[in-house]
Structure 1
């Protein structure tokens, strides 16, 4: 039996850096998958012949398993060591990636995606905890920016890598590409990474684990499937919410009485820990809301392609990376988290205010991109700093629990936030269309716009489009066809054209008989020439009115989308303000006064 040392072990700079590289590679592996797969999804759906009802499960299966098991993996890393758990996660993730690449039907791929989610949860729950193990509170902020950089790099590289692999090799390689990255990560972990194992034993709370899963899985499924698959008030959704609520109550009761809880509720008695947890949840909702809804604006209002809309988020990502790195350096320099967090939230608030008050249908892509940089810098510090605050507050032997809880709360905030914002957005867009667009549309076309909905899913930028330019071109083409027919019938006197033109109900009765016969007497030609001139003037006037009507509908369409998405940012603004208030309530704990190590990591 290993004896606990009286002081935490020290690691050489080489050990720390090699460990950091291994963990960052594992993190990059999991983060890259979230972006690279989205680009390949259309080809996957086509080749494996996904039914429409199964498409969302490509994301849902991964989301549910990766979120529901985060706290469990965090607890396991506290009990059995970070290296063992993160390596298990990498092996699971890599095995699942290979199986995804070999999948032959939708069922197989969805199941393997769920397995991938299990592996990614082990990686995400452990990565931030490793920083807490090998670095002191004073050192941690200097290195936390690397984690943001990994997420940023994966967000930029992922879509392009996924597109290149899918277009030039096969969609299956978006999964196979994980294998070489995993091999390098595992080499660093096996050869360089210390076990980072706590000095005391323990056992996992299996009852608590089952209750946690039965609380989180139905909740996530309900939030993902409503309102598109099932209505909010349907028995299926209500049943899932009820099961989640009952399981949550039983989980809390179990965690209070067990000796080895998966989530130690006692940690929430610490004011810093509990308030930081609430702030992490709120900022999770604000973060993903921007990523999901801005591409919809760019596709439906600016008229760019879905690929271009996704690429336009790159400045947001770079802003997040910059915010991560700069905030870490600032915290390390001044020795306090709160001023940096509040400063970043002020920037985020300004970014949301600019979007709320300046978003308009004539926005340019460059204008949107410039605003995204400010949002990214404001959002960047929220990912690592709240996590580090929770880690710094927790005892050393519960760092894994604190890290996984922070990630879990952030992901739950994102999922719940997108579900709520999506419902608000769908309702607002329906109202905007029925009040602004439908009255301008001919009755025979109104069914296309009544009840218009656009609630998106994560990573989606699909929506009903209104291509004004194409509609005007199509209308012009039809009017040109009418002019050509009129010339062939009334000037060239081609029999077939004359008969076709005679079927037009707007042709005066005195001309119908002549045109229908396909023959023209010489004395009738001047009258037909005059009728041709009248027809051209009439067609020109009608085309002008039609073009104006299409443009008017197009303006109303873009205005409806803009107002609906502005409403989303108004809600997001409220969330950010709440996040600022909660963050302001966090007690400032200087580095030198933070809780010392308890049951420090030891070498096997």
Structure 2
């Protein structure tokens, strides 16, 4: 019930005309359900989630970093194709290919993580991986709207290494920190945190995007929001007035840039979370 309330509440927030009353009810239901769940778990002999997991600071930090990076990951997977379709005018298949190198380089990052886990502290590994992700995030915030397609392939490959290194190391470290009897519980919670972060951040990105586009439409009386939606589809974009295309692309670029800026904040938060892990052992 807690997850259902949170997810539906953020879905309503992400809508253009989000209803505040429904959002408030969802948050209240989620808060009360969470309190009841924790209260019950403390008394249960065989809990669904052993609350002792959260007494391990490194486990909490590893899970928190995995969640925040997953929030950035969903931004990358959704808004890079939006950029390449809307601003570069590429078809959907080619636009989606822009994120493909990240999947390939994710494997490389996983291999690197496997070699580092036995040699470096969790904090050191995450500092390295988050720095790689930070570089890619900063580049996405700074690149202009006419950035060529091949540049996104390079950015995707660089971020893929960071994603693979971060997610693999946090998953393995979280499993290593807990009692073998509850490894499955720790792994499932780690996965849940990542999925929930992606759901919540996707709604927040939608809010940022909608607000920026609405502001752009208000500043340019000759364009409408429907034109921006048509711009993302190369087939419908051909039907738009040619003299309005530069303005439409500038507004769309501002929206995507603001989304990337919000996602950059997540990476910075992840770096901040990682600083709290002061363990001196591997």
- Provide TM-score, normalisation by structure 1: 0.44
Q: Name the structure 1 match of 2:137.
A: 352
1:80-99 C-alpha deviation (Å, 9 max, x unpaired): xxxxxxxxxxxxxxxxxxxx
- Are the equivalent residues in 2 in contact too, given 1:299–1:305 (CA < 8 A)? yes
Q: Is the Cα–Cα contact under 8 Å of residues 113 and 168 in structure 2 kept in the other structure? A: no
Match for residue 11 of structure 2?
A: 224
Question: What is the CA-CA distance between 1:411 and the residue it aligns to?
Answer: 0.8
Instruction: Please state how far the C-alpha of 1:575 moved relative to its aligned partner.
Output: 0.8
Task: Tell whether 2:203 aligns with 1:416.
Answer: no
Say if 2:69 and 2:270, in contact at 8 Å, map to a contact too. yes
Larger helix proportion, structure 1 or 2?
2
Question: Which secondary structure does the structure 2 equivalent of 1:303 belong to?
Answer: coil
Distance verdict in 2 for CA 1:450–1:561, change over 3 Å? closer
Question: Segments of 4+ in structure 1 off by > 6 A?
Answer: 451-454, 466-469
TM-superposition CA deviations, 1:539-568 (whole Å, max 9, x none): xxxxxxxxxxx4442111111111111111
CA contact (8 A) 2:9 2:27 kept: yes
Aligned counterparts of 2:49 and 2:135: Cα–Cα separation in 1:
36
2:238 is aligned with 1:470? yes
Structure 2 Cα separation of the partners of residues 375 and 340 of structure 1: 15
Give the structure-2-normalised TM-score. Answer: 0.90
Determine helix, strand or coil for the equivalent of 2:134: helix
Cα RMSD (Å) of the superposition? Answer: 2.4
CA contact (8 A) 1:430 1:451 kept: no
The alignment status of 1:284 with 2:99, answered yes or no, reads: no
The alignment status of 1:251 with 2:37, answered yes or no, reads yes
| Cα pair distance change 1:258/1:465, threshold 3 Å | same
- Aligned residue number for residue 564 of structure 1: 255
How far apart are the structure 2 equivalents of 1:451 and 1:271? 48
- Structure 2: tracts of 5 or more residues without a match: none
Q: List per-residue Cα deviations over 1:217-258 (Å, max 9, x = no partner).
A: 232233335443x84334444333322221111111111222
Aligned residues: 282
CA distance in 2, matches of 1:551, 1:227: 31
For 2:92 and 2:158, the matched residues in 1 are separated by: 22
Is 1:308 paired with 2:77? no
Q: Retained in 2: the 8 A contact 1:215–1:244?
A: yes
Residue aligning to 1:402:
186
The answer for unaligned runs of 5 or more in structure 1 is: 1-213, 455-461, 473-549, 592-604
Contact 1:296 1:463 in 2 (8 A): no
Q: Give the direction of change, closer, same or farther, for the CA distance of 1:240–1:452 in structure 2 (3 Å limit).
A: farther
Kindly provide the CA deviation profile for residues 5-42 of structure 1, in whole angstroms up to 9, marking residues without a partner as x.
xxxxxxxxxxxxxxxxxxxxxxxxxxxxxxxxxxxxxx
Q: Which protein has the larger Cα radius of gyration, Structure 1 or Structure 2?
A: 1
User: 2: CA distance between counterparts of 1:470 and 1:572?
Assistant: 31
Distance in 2 (alpha carbons) for counterparts of 1:463 and 1:428: 16
For residue 298 of structure 1, report the CA deviation from its aligned partner: 1.0
Q: How does 1:589-604 map to 2 (within 5 A)?
A: 590-591=281-282
Looking at structure 2, the residues matched to 463 and 316 of structure 1 have their Cα atoms a distance apart, in angstroms, of: 26
Q: Is the 8 A contact 2:125 2:169 kept in 1?
A: no
The residue that corresponds to 2:81 in the other structure is 295
Question: Could you say if the C-alpha distance between residues 281 and 322 of structure 1 is closer, same or farther in structure 2, counting changes exceeding 3 Å?
Answer: same
Q: Which residue is 2:278 aligned to?
A: 587
